[in-house]
């Protein structure tokens, strides 16, 4: 006999066919006790009543199934998932407002190109909000105005600013990154409203955050989860110098990690420190720049709230390694090669933009991404390339410290160190794509 409802295997839904069969059986039994035979033919009034009641009962079973699964994070949706998140102290987050702005070059010299990089910080002074461009823009005296997409650097509806509100590049950002513009200047305006800041993250994203939440106050995993919740953080690596690899030390490969420690035993009364290696999106500055708080300060603030007394984090920026591709790309005849080149670069940045600390760049994945671009027939002599780690950084494991640009052989993957994050940028100088027709 079939079991329905809550069972040891979960909730078993009772379908319309099973409900109809049970109801018809009971009808026959009831009429039999009266010495009569129930007319359950397709056109009988009794059969029609039974079918109508069965359809309503089937909907009730569906609601019972939804109610049962709404109590589990892995299966709950909508408001039920919100309630589970509230119980865990993890509300559903708002999204970042997005839109477009127009950058206009003034006082530019003829024949010179002025590049406004992706991640340029823009301000809406009247609203006190900051925004970042999501693409690189090249301005010249001949084409002084270009539209570019922007994203708010703070979540929520405050980023939904009206048109004409975003009016200036952050002065501190300009002084550091656009100092070579000289007398030329770039004016900013958003001709349309920015929107989307009052939207909420989707169920899948919210569910993933709930499944990963740590319900203890202070463990390595709890600290990692707290840092990952900081906007702009991509990945985190925690290292305990008394129980693992201390990336802040300058001596490596001189100890057997499983047998010896990097330093002497901790003395009573000494502060205990651990390393937190943080990889972040480059649109968010590492240190506070102008009106935008840096990732370092925000991570420090989060850890300060949860760390026990005497335990201090040593926050280190991960090595963000620029990665590029050198290849011969065979394209269809009549293709716009400049547009295809831009599309390939954009696809690589999008498809491989979810790599994490220590994640190797796979040759097969890069090849597949390139050949899936419309208009590309084949890719040959493909080499993966990377910049060396930043000066003064530490790499360990399989990756030795490099001082020059590295180019892997055809078919080889790029092996990344545990503290290295591979970054594909469409405008990186490592890309060398030669487009040819058959």
Identify the H or E element spanning 176.
Answer: helix 171-177
Q: What is the pLDDT of residue 129?
A: 92
User: What is the predicted pLDDT for the residue at 98?
Assistant: 94
Alpha-carbon gap, residue 39 to 323, rounded angstroms: 76
**In degrees rounded to 5, what are phi and psi of residue 383?**
-120, 135
Distance separating alpha carbons of residues 97 and 150, to the nearest angstrom: 9
Compute the distance between CA of residue 417 and CA of residue 395 in angstroms, rounded to an integer.
6
Sheet holding 233-239, edge to edge: 233-239, 272-280, 311-317
CA distance 245 to 225: 20
From first to last of the 438 residues of the chain, give the pLDDT tens digit: 468 888 887 888 888 888 988 888 888 888 888 888 888 888 888 888 888 998 999 899 998 988 888 888 888 989 899 998 888 888 999 999 999 999 999 998 888 889 898 889 999 998 889 999 988 899 998 899 999 999 999 999 999 999 999 999 999 888 888 888 888 999 999 999 999 999 999 999 899 888 877 666 677 788 888 898 899 898 898 876 544 444 444 544 454 544 444 444 555 556 677 888 899 888 888 898 878 889 999 999 999 888 877 778 889 888 888 899 999 999 998 888 888 888 888 888 887 777 788 888 999 999 999 999 889 999 999 999 988 765 444 444 444 444 567 888 988 998 888 888 888 888 778 888 999 988
pLDDT of residue 248: 47
At 243 the pLDDT is 45
- Do the Cβ atoms of 436 and 330 come closer than 8 Å? yes
pTM: 0.68
pLDDT of residue 257: 46
Give the Cβ contact number of residue 234 at 10 Å. 21
Rounded Cα gap, residues 319 and 328, in angstroms: 29
Residue 313 CA: distances (Å) to CA of 271, 300, 366: 10, 8, 37
């Amino acid at each position: 006999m079939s079991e329905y409802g809550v069972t040891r295997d979960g909730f078993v839904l009772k379908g319309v066919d099973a409900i109809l069969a049970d109801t018809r059986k009971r009808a026959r039994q009831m009429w039999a006790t009266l010495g009569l035979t129930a007319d359950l033919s397709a056109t009988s009034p009794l059969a029609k009543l039974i079918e109508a009641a069965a359809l309503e009962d089937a909907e009730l079973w569906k609601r019972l199934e939804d109610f049962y699964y709404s109590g589990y994070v892995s299966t709950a949706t909508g408001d039920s998932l919100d309630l589970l998140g509230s119980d865990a102290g993890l509300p559903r987050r708002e999204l970042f407002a997005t839109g477009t702005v127009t950058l206009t070059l003034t006082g530019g010299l003829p024949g010179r190109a002025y590049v406004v990089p992706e991640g340029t910080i823009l301000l809406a002074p009247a609203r006190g909000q900051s925004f970042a461009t999501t693409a690189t823009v090249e301005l010249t005296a001949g084409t002084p105005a270009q539209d570019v997409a922007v994203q708010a650097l703070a979540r929520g509806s405050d980023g939904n600013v009206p048109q004409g509100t975003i009016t200036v590049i952050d002065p501190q950002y300009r002084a550091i990154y656009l100092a070579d513009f000289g007398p030329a200047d770039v004016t900013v305006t958003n001709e349309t409203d920015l929107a989307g800041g009052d939207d909420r993250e989707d169920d899948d994203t919210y569910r993933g955050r709930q499944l990963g939440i740590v319900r203890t106050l202070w463990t390595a995993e709890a600290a990692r989860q707290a840092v990952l919740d900081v906007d702009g953080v991509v990945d985190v690596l925690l290292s305990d110098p008394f129980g693992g690899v201390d990336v802040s030390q300058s001596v490596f490969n001189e100890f057997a990690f499983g047998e010896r420690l990097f330093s002497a035993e901790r003395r009573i009364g000494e502060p205990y420190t651990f390393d937190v290696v943080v990889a972040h999106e480059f649109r968010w500055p590492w240190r506070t720049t102008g009106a935008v708080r840096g990732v370092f300060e925000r991570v420090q603030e989060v850890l300060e709230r949860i760390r026990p007394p005497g335990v201090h984090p040593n926050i280190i920026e991960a090595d963000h390694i620029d990665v590029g591709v050198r290849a011969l790309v065979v394209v269809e005849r009549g293709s716009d090669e400049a547009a295809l080149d831009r599309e390939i670069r954009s696809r690589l940045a999008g498809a491989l933009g979810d790599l994490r600390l220590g994640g190797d760049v796979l040759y097969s994945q890069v090849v597949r991404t390139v050949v899936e671009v419309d208009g590309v027939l084949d890719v040959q002599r493909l080499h993966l390339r990377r910049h060396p780690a930043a000066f003064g950084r530490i790499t360990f494991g399989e990756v030795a410290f490099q001082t020059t640009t590295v180019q892997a052989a055809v078919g080889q993957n790029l092996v990344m160190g545990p503290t290295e994050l591979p970054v594909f940028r469409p405008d990186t100088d490592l890309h060398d794509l030669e487009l040819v027709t058959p």
